[in-house]
A and B are shown apart, each in its own frame.
Chain A
Amino acid sequence: MNGSAIVMLIFASLILYGGLGYYLVRAARGKKRKNSEETTNESFGE
């Protein structure tokens, strides 16, 4: 593979897979929310 193709490979990989890894860690460390049962039909408050 030529040099410029490798640069683009690294650039896209850093954003896509780096970003994915970052947000997966954020999700793992995020607040634990109860998967509770709720009722429907709440309006948006208009």
Chain B
Amino acid sequence: MAKTRERWGSRSSFVFAAIGAAIGLGNVWRFPYITYQNGGGAFLIPYLIALITAGIPLMILEYAVGQKAQSSPPTALKTIWKKSEWIGWFAVVLVFVLATYYATIMSWCVNYFYQSFTLGWGNTPRAVETFFNQTLLAKSGSPGILGGIQLPVLIGLAVTWLLIYLCLFKGVKTLGKIVYFTVGIPWLILIIMVIRGLTLPGAMEGLNFYLTPDFSVLLQPKVWLAAYGQIFFTLSLAMGTLIVYASYLPRNSDITVNAFITSLANCGTAFLAGFAVFSTLGYLASAMGVTVPEVTTSGLGLAFVTYPTAINLLPVASRLFGALFFLLLITLGIDSAFSQIEPVVGSIADKWGFNKRKVLPLVVLTGFIVGIPYTTKAGFYWVDIIDHFVCTYGLTLIGFLECIVIGYFFKASRIREYINSVSDVRIGPWWDVFIKIVTPIVLGVSLIYELIKLIQKGYGNYPVWTAFSGIGLIILLIVLSFILSRKRGNL
């Protein structure tokens, strides 16, 4: 007998959930830095072109696959082409690995949020750095030396997984209400931080570094690859999240307009975050008497060292803004974190007909246990290494395979007919071109470019065996995906 599928409470619940999945920590700590590093305002040109030619077409594709199949990634892809179920499982197992280290980064945010009430990370730039590297993480110096478990990080990890469980256990309808808060609160905090940042001395100098265009970079292929890479990762594509979220919509729901709203809201948030970050960096540079590039960092360094340093130097309410900044990161991250678990739970439930409520605690518990090695003194290195291999090779490969399967084995024009039959805004044959040619070429070139770079230089300053571990993990996940796709289910 056919089963009744869960439904979002409303269209806006779905859109907010998808926006929440897309908007994550990278919007705050990656986009502004990549923009600055790749020609400032000029980077916005390839970024927007990448959004229109790859990001939005791929998002429309994933929404269409989930909504039409009314199923999670493996079973959805199986209905398109029987032999492609493993690609769906590959996305699912990969996003599970991603969730395990993402939860660890969230754990660091939870610890900093706790410390923000007393500015416990210290008063000087050196103290802040020491707090992150020695007090919180107690870095062992090498990925090969695990050291002991850092209790505060372990507690933060448990809190994060508990939050993920609480957000998901009531099902999609309740999740649809939670996302109004997990998306609305960061927007509100971001606006407060932009206003605060713009009123600080030196802010305009910071914004000049963020937005002053250097058009000569547009001739460099690496800038275009960076733009396509940023768009691809920021929209939560190829993770299975968008497919599973869209599968909870009725088949006659609009696809095109939803995809445009989600992707524009995500990129608009990243653009806005750039103002909060660079106005604060401008202030920090001015307060320390150095130039903006000297204080400009990205990723973990920006969030856990540079920003707390700037918070220390704020003339008033530094504790409040410290708490707000880390609450921003927690709320930005939590909806991305639970969006990484929903495809895992949904896929197991869909294939074997299990109750999602029974699958969820097992997935959450497994995620917590798998994440424990990241709480050791070598955890920082492993978060960095696994993140590189999962995103740069795993997700890019899935995006490439999705385009090939839909574009050639199923025929893009057939799925376009379905999209146009339910959407208020029709898409033309240009979409087929982007799915069949532009996106796979860009992803394929990016994959080859990164592989050559890996062979020539390795990754980071880590020992060679860590690169083998990273590639080995990707191969292992592919094998696991094939095994899962071969298992008999209740489909």
Interface on A for B, CB 8 Å cutoff? 1-2, 4-9, 11-13, 15-17, 19-20, 23-24, 26-27, 30-31, 33-46
Question: Are B79 and A44 in touch, CB under 8 angstroms?
Answer: yes
- Contacting residues, chain B, for A4 (C-beta < 8 A): 41, 212-213
Can you offer 7 A-B residue contacts whose CB atoms are under 8 A?
Answer: A4-B212, A4-B213, A5-B208, A27-B15, A36-B250, A37-B4, A44-B68
Is B271 engaged at the interface, CB distance under 8 Å to the other chain? yes
Tell me the smallest distance from the CB of B276 to a CB of chain A, in Å: 14
- Contacting residues, chain A, for B252 (C-beta < 8 A): 33
- Measured CA separation A23–B210 after assembly (Å): 27
Is B385 engaged at the interface, CB distance under 8 Å to the other chain? no
Question: Are A20 and B264 in touch, CB under 8 angstroms?
Answer: yes
Question: Are A37 and B268 in touch, CB under 8 angstroms?
Answer: no
Can you list, as one digit per residue, whether each of B395-418 has a CB less than 8 Å from chain A (1) or not (0)? 000000000000000100011000
Question: Are B70 and A9 in touch, CB under 8 angstroms?
Answer: no
Interface size on B, residues (CB 8 A): 51
| Selected interface stretch from B6-14, B129-137, B307-315 | B6-14
Question: Are B44 and A8 in touch, CB under 8 angstroms?
Answer: yes
Tell me the smallest distance from the CB of A8 to a CB of chain B, in Å: 3
- Contacting residues, chain B, for A20 (C-beta < 8 A): 261, 264-265, 268
Residue in B70, B212, B267, B350 whose beta carbon sits within 8 Å of that of A16 in the complex:
B267
Question: Are A27 and B257 in touch, CB under 8 angstroms?
Answer: yes
Question: Are A35 and B212 in touch, CB under 8 angstroms?
Answer: no
Closest to B212 in A: A5
Residue in A2, A17, A27, A46 whose beta carbon sits within 8 Å of that of B208 in the complex:
A2
- Contacting residues, chain B, for A43 (C-beta < 8 A): 79
Tell me the smallest distance from the CB of A36 to a CB of chain B, in Å: 5
Question: Are B491 and A8 in touch, CB under 8 angstroms?
Answer: no
Question: Are A5 and B2 in touch, CB under 8 angstroms?
Answer: no
- Contacting residues, chain A, for B11 (C-beta < 8 A): 27, 33, 35
Interface on B for A, CB 8 Å cutoff? 2-5, 7-11, 15, 40-42, 44, 48, 68-71, 75, 79-81, 204, 207-208, 210-213, 250-254, 257-258, 260-261, 264-265, 267-268, 271, 350, 410, 414-415, 424-425, 491
Closest to B44 in A: A12
Question: Are B2 and A40 in touch, CB under 8 angstroms?
Answer: yes
- Asked whether A39 and B268 contact (CB < 8 A) given A1-B204, A2-B208, A33-B254, the answer is no
- Contacting residues, chain A, for B9 (C-beta < 8 A): 35
Question: Are A41 and B70 in touch, CB under 8 angstroms?
Answer: yes
Sample of 18 more A-B contacts, CB < 8 Å, known A8-B213, A44-B68: A1-B211, A2-B208, A4-B213, A19-B260, A27-B257, A27-B261, A31-B424, A33-B252, A39-B2, A39-B3, A39-B4, A40-B3, A40-B71, A41-B2, A41-B70, A41-B491, A42-B68, A42-B69
- Measured CA separation A43–B80 after assembly (Å): 7
- Measured CA separation A4–B45 after assembly (Å): 14
Tell me the smallest distance from the CB of A46 to a CB of chain B, in Å: 8
- Measured CA separation A15–B48 after assembly (Å): 8
Question: Are B2 and A30 in touch, CB under 8 angstroms?
Answer: no
- Contacting residues, chain A, for B48 (C-beta < 8 A): 12, 15-16
Tell me the smallest distance from the CB of B208 to a CB of chain A, in Å: 6
- Contacting residues, chain B, for A39 (C-beta < 8 A): 2-5, 70
- Contacting residues, chain A, for B425 (C-beta < 8 A): 23, 26
Residue in B5, B75, B211 whose beta carbon sits within 8 Å of that of A5 in the complex:
B211
Tell me the smallest distance from the CB of A3 to a CB of chain B, in Å: 9
- Measured CA separation A30–B261 after assembly (Å): 13
